[in-house]
Structure 1
Amino acid sequence: MYARLLCVCLAAVSVVADVIEDCKLSGDKTSSTEQALLSRLAPLKHKRFETTYNDGKDSYTYTFVVCGHVFNSSTSTNEGLVQNDTKASKTTVIGRIDETHIINGTDWILLIYKNGEKYDSHCGSEPRKAMIMISCNKNTLADGFTIISEEKDKNKECFYLFEMDSSVACPIEESHLSVGSILLIVFAVLVGLYIIGGFLYQRFVVGAKGMDQFPNITFWRELGNLVADGCDFVCRSQPRSSETAYRGVGDDHLGEEPEERDDHLLPM
């Protein structure tokens, strides 16, 4: 049991480490926040997405791989997102995974691949850059990859903007159960197991019928009587009278009879 749990933990750590290794964060020093964000993308690692853009004059296909190489060959140059001009049969690297930047908000993660191929004449001939906005969608692991726009009418800081939906961008929901609620749930489960297990034992092992199938029925009946007596003792406002409803008819309950005088019967 413990060995299996250890293997699962090591596998999870290995996945996170692989994602961080493939997607190298840009900058001399990376923050723990960026590394934590990058680790959230572990379920999407090496997943491939494609989208097309066609305006009648130009036709492009964009291929995006999360922390992985688009071209699976020895000639790969860390390309993470590429553009394929279907009319001119030309492939252009827009961003590379060895120059990764990542930020997030409440329900979104922005993954940035920098150091793409340089523009020919516009944007100051700077390297291309791909920005992928990953929005929260609890109903899918990853879907809806599409291009939004290409910002290239500037002297610098041009970029390609993409978007997609994924549950990895959703905020982590914390459990709102209190300690008392957890204890009540555990208690209810134990009581249910006690009743069901005892019922099955009484019926199929002991062979009991009717109410006798309830586990420890004699104990619970006696306990019920004790509880009733205790409630009767505590909750009554006046104690019960010990006198009986009817008095006895003994001599001690008889009043003195009036003395009979028979003087009038004597002769005068």
Structure 2
Amino acid sequence: MYAQLWCLCLVAATAFAADQPVDDCVLTGGDKKSAAEQALLQRLAPLKTKKFEATIQEGDDSYKYTFVVCGRVNASTSPNAGLVQSKVGSTEVTVIGRIDDTHILNGTDWIMLFYKSGDKYDNHCDHEPRKAMIMISCNKNTLGDGFTIINEERNKSKDCFYLFEMDSSLACPAEESHLSVGSILLIVFAVILAVYIIGGFLYQRFVVGAKGIEQFPNITFWQEFGNLVADGCDFACRSRPRSSETAYRGVGDDQLGEEPEERDDHLLPM
């Protein structure tokens, strides 16, 4: 008896759960879900439950399309409906697609969201369920805007669809950093150098009490280091000693020095 009661409760709970409307997009594909599709839904997370509307004139009638990103348009009248069509001035509502039958894919700068399992056509497309395709194009200037209907393809015997488009920065590719490894190292070095100079200056001035050039951190070390660098550069870069004598001197008259005047007065007779 207890086993039968347990089975009955389990069946009732399962049926109750099946009747409950979902609150988020449910991807198609059975038990295995695509990791790529789940990642795309995560990209659209800032748009979830946001509502967008578009109106189109067909002859004397106006139709309004209401689209919610992974959310229900109206939980009371249209369970799991993510995109609906309503005739202006009428209470008639047609479900174009439901969020519990979702497919999503993307390209370089666009994301395509599919809502399937809409209300069946009355006189078109062999009475198949309606389907919505929402093209989300890259636009860095808006989070989500420009929702419009492009076309309703219903002149086929199957695979009919509604095509919509909208703009969103979420469809834009991630911008890659243009900084190279060398640039990053230079920035880090510049930051460390600035911290060293400013911190050392403040320490020397307010803690040690140094004045003038003595406020520069480790001034004695840097002066000696500068001298060593200058000596090393002088030794390595000069092609000959700073003051060198000419190895060979000519014997021209212009190079002969004045001979000392000979004093031979002592040879003269007295």
- Say whether residues 1:46 and 2:49 are aligned partners: yes
Partner residue in 1 for 2:7: none
Q: How does 1:79-118 map to 2 (within 5 A)?
A: 79-118=81-120
TM-score, scaled relative to structure 2: 0.77
SS of 1:84's equivalent in the other structure is: strand
Relative to structure 1, the CA distance from residue 208 to residue 60 in structure 2 (aligned partners, 3 Å threshold; closer, same or farther) is: farther
Partner residue in 1 for 2:64: 61
1-side partners of 2:181 and 2:152: how far apart? 52
CA contact (8 A) 1:58 1:87 kept: no
Computed over aligned residues only, the root mean square deviation of the Cα atoms, in angstroms, reads 2.7
Structure 2: gaps (5+ residues): 1-22, 246-258
CA contact (8 A) 2:51 2:68 kept: yes
Structure 1: gaps (5+ residues): 1-20, 244-254
Shift of 1:258: 6.9
Partner residue in 2 for 1:33: 36
Shift of 1:215: 2.3
1-side partners of 2:86 and 2:205: how far apart? 73
1-side partners of 2:102 and 2:116: how far apart? 6
2-side partners of 1:46 and 1:210: how far apart? 65
Kindly, what percent of the aligned residue pairs are identical? 71
2-side partners of 1:40 and 1:94: how far apart? 23
- Say whether residues 1:226 and 2:222 are aligned partners: no
2-side partners of 1:96 and 1:194: how far apart? 62
1-side partners of 2:208 and 2:64: how far apart? 73
Relative to structure 1, the CA distance from residue 203 to residue 76 in structure 2 (aligned partners, 3 Å threshold; closer, same or farther) is: farther
Most deviating of 40-49 and 161-170 = 40-49
1-side partners of 2:212 and 2:267: how far apart? 80
CA contact (8 A) 2:113 2:134 kept: yes
User: Which residue type is aligned with residue 148 of structure 1?
Assistant: I
Partner residue in 2 for 1:12: none
Partner residue in 2 for 1:265: 269
CA deviations over 1:215-266 (Å, ceiling 9, x no partner): 22232222222211111111111123488xxxxxxxxxxx999795956638
